[in-house]
Amino acid sequence: DAGVTQSPTHLIKTRGQHVTLRCSPISGHKSVSWYQQVLGQGPQFIFQYYEKEERGRGNFPDRFSARQFPNYSSELNVNALLLGDSALYLCASSSLGQPMGEQYFGPGTRLTVT
Amino acid sequence: GIQVEQSPPDLILQEGANSTLRCNFSDSVNNLQWFHQNPWGQLINLFYIPSGTKQNGRLSATTVATERYSLLYISSSQTTDSGVYFCALEETSGSRLTFGEGTQLTVNP
């Protein structure tokens, strides 16, 4: 079975631009979570979606938004990019909502903002 | 929110040595996972261990939930074990994993 997939793998954007990152969960998983990992730190939670509803939101500005589609895939959108948004963005899926159960991570999207 | 502390922050070993990584946490948890992050950034699941002891080959883990700590044991280390090891917790309120700062492991040949 395929694991969690993310696209694109790498992305370079300019300050002020908008970006959309995509994630497909493991087949049968209904929960998708997004994390941001800056260099040298552990991943930080951004959002969790379960059954297409937002179930949790981390301490990130309103420039960050997300949604989950009927097929349980998800998009993370970031508006008005800042240099500090440069990071590895990780998507995780699980079969449960709350508690989440075991989380499985995708390979990540590496975003560079110049 | 819950506090997660991993130790040591850095560890350098010779191939074949054993090591113990520790994760302390400040509150009750639904879930505790150990991950290995490879040089390309992929987080690889090692253990899902909210309590008890598990073993997988050269790796084993123990979580003592009542005392709020977990240990990851690596025996007969290999150069391919190099990378960052993260402990991550799901609080009882659910909806997110909170990660520690990680342990950077380097195994030299």
Per-residue pLDDT, averaged over A34-56, amounts to 95
Per-residue pLDDT, averaged over A31-39, amounts to 96
d(CA A45, CA A55): 12
Contact yes or no for B95 and A44 at CB 8 A: no
d(CA B16, CA A112): 38
Contact yes or no for B41 and A44 at CB 8 A: no
CA distance A15 to chain B (A): 24
Bridge partners (DSSP) listed for residue A31:
A50, A94
Query: B102: Cβ–Cβ under 8 A, 6 or more apart, which residues?
Result: A42, B6, B9, B37, B84, B85, B86
Residue-level pLDDT at B94: 73
Residue B38: both structure tokens together: 């490879």
Residue-level pLDDT at B91: 85
d(CA A97, CA A88): 24
d(CA B46, CA B85): 9
Helix or strand or coil: residue A110?
A: strand
Distance of CA A92 to the CA centre of its chain: 7
Exposure pattern of B75-97 as b/e (b: 16+ CB <10 Å)?
eebeeebbbbbbbbbbbeebbbb
Per-residue pLDDT, averaged over A43-61, amounts to 94
Q: Across chain A, what does the average pLDDT equal?
A: 95
d(CA B94, CA B72): 23
Query: B93: Cβ–Cβ under 8 A, 6 or more apart, which residues?
Result: none
CA distance B76 to chain A (A): 26
Residue-level pLDDT at A1: 64
Averaged pLDDT, groups of 10, chain B, 109 residues long = 94 97 94 94 95 97 96 97 96 87 97
Bridge partners (DSSP) listed for residue B93:
none
Establish if B39 touches chain A: CB-CB under 8 angstroms.
Answer: no
Residue-level pLDDT at B50: 93
Q: Which fold has domain A5-96+104-113?
A: Immunoglobulin-like (2.60.40)
Superfamily of domain B4-108: Immunoglobulins (2.60.40.10)
- Which A positions 29-58 lie with beta carbon below 8 A of chain B? 33, 35, 37, 41-45, 48, 55-56, 58
pLDDT tens readout for residues A82-97: 999 999 999 999 988 7
Higher local confidence (pLDDT), A1 or B103: B103
Instruction: Choose, out of B97, B98, B104, the residue to mutate when testing the contact with A (most A CBs < 10 Å).
Output: B97
- Taking CA atoms, A56 is separated from A33, A96, A105, B89, B103, in Å, by 9, 14, 17, 15, 27
Domain boundaries, chain A: 5-96+104-113
Dihedral of the CA atoms A77, B3, B87, B16 (nearest 10)? 140
Contact yes or no for B35 and A105 at CB 8 A: yes
Distance of CA B93 to the CA centre of its chain: 22
Per-residue pLDDT, averaged over A14-29, amounts to 97
Residue of chain B with shortest Cα separation from A5 = B42
Give just the sign of the alpha carbon dihedral A88, A5, A48, B68. negative
Contact yes or no for B95 and A100 at CB 8 A: yes
